[in-house]
Amino acid sequence: MRLLIADDEAPARSRLRTLVESIPGCMVVAEAANGREAVEIAAREPVDCVLLDIAMPGVDGLEAARHLGVLDAPPAVVFCTAHDEHALEAFEARAIDYLLKPVRRERLDRALERARRLQPDTVRNLAEAVQPRQPRTHLCARVRGNLKLVPMTDVTHLQAEDKYVVVHHTGGELLIEEPLKDLEIEFAERFVRIHRNCLVALDRITALDRAPDGRMFVTLRANAQRLDVSRRNLPALRKRLKSL
C-alpha cells in the first residue's frame, strides 16, 4: 500500500513514517506540509491512502479531503489529529478512520487494513457524499492532467458555459465541472448573482452603472472589466451592495 503523509509538523510526519514502515506491505511515497501540497502530490503520484492532519495552514485537512475526492482514483483518507473535536466533521467528510495523536501502531494498522479492503469506487462514493460545513478556501481545477488550486480570494467572477464554469481569477481562467447554483449556495457570503450565468465577488465590484441603452453593468476593480447585470438580478444586487 502506497501512502502519503500530510502534516504541518515535521516531527509528526517522521513519527508516522516510522510507524507506517514498520507495517508489512506499507510504504510512504511522499510527505506534504499542508493540504494543498497533499492534493497536488496525490494528483501526480499513485497513492492508495493519505494520512491527513486536520489543523494545517491554508488548505486544512477537511478541505483537502474534498479535493482528493475528485481524483480519478481517489485515495482513502485517514485523519490523524491531536484534537478530538473534529471527529464529527471528519466522518462527515467520509474518512475511513480517525486517529488521535500520538498515533499507536496497532491502531494505525487497523485503519490501514480498513483502507486496504476498500474498492476505488467505494472511496469515490464516500468522497462524493461529503456535506461540508464551511465553504472551501480554494477551487480545484484540472490543468493539463494536473490539479490546480485557486484561492477563493483571487476569484473575481464565475461564469457558466455549457457544462462548465469558467473561474476568472487574478492569474487567468480555469474550467471546473461544478454547477453554478451549487457554487452560489456554498459561497453565498462572498459572491452575488448578477445574471443567470454569472456570479461576481462582492469585494471586486467598484461600480454599478447604467448604459445609454438602459442596460446595467458592474465594473470590477483591477482590470476595470464590465459585466452585464440582468433586470431580474438587479434588485438583489443593489440590496447586497447597500449592505456592504
For 182-212, write each residue's pLDDT tens digit.
Answer: 999 999 999 999 999 999 999 999 999 999 9
Q: Is 138-242 a domain of CATH 3.40.50.2000?
A: no
Strand order of the β-sheet with 27-32 is: 27-32, 2-6, 49-52, 76-81, 97-100
What residue ranges of the chain have pLDDT lower than 50?
Answer: 129-130
User: Which CATH number fits the domain 2-128, given the four candidates 2.102.10.10, 3.40.50.2300, 3.90.550.10, 3.40.640.10?
Assistant: 3.40.50.2300
**Per-residue cell: 17:** 513514517
* pLDDT value of position 72: 82
* CA 41, 131, 51, 151 torsion-angle sign: positive
Q: How far is CA 88 from CA 18, 34, 62, 92, 176, in A?
A: 28, 21, 11, 6, 29
Strand order of the β-sheet with 226-229 is: 205-210, 216-220, 226-229
* pLDDT value of position 83: 76
Average pLDDT score, the chain: 89
Q: Where in the chain is the domain with CATH 2.40.50.1020?
A: 138-242
pTM for the whole structure? 0.79
Is residue 212 reached through a cis peptide bond, with omega within 30 degrees of 0 on the bond before it? no
Q: Where in the chain is the domain with CATH 3.40.50.2300?
A: 2-128
**Sequence-ordered list of residues with C-beta below 8 angstroms from that of 227, at least 6 positions apart, any chain:** 157, 194, 195, 198, 200, 217, 218, 220
* pLDDT value of position 145: 73
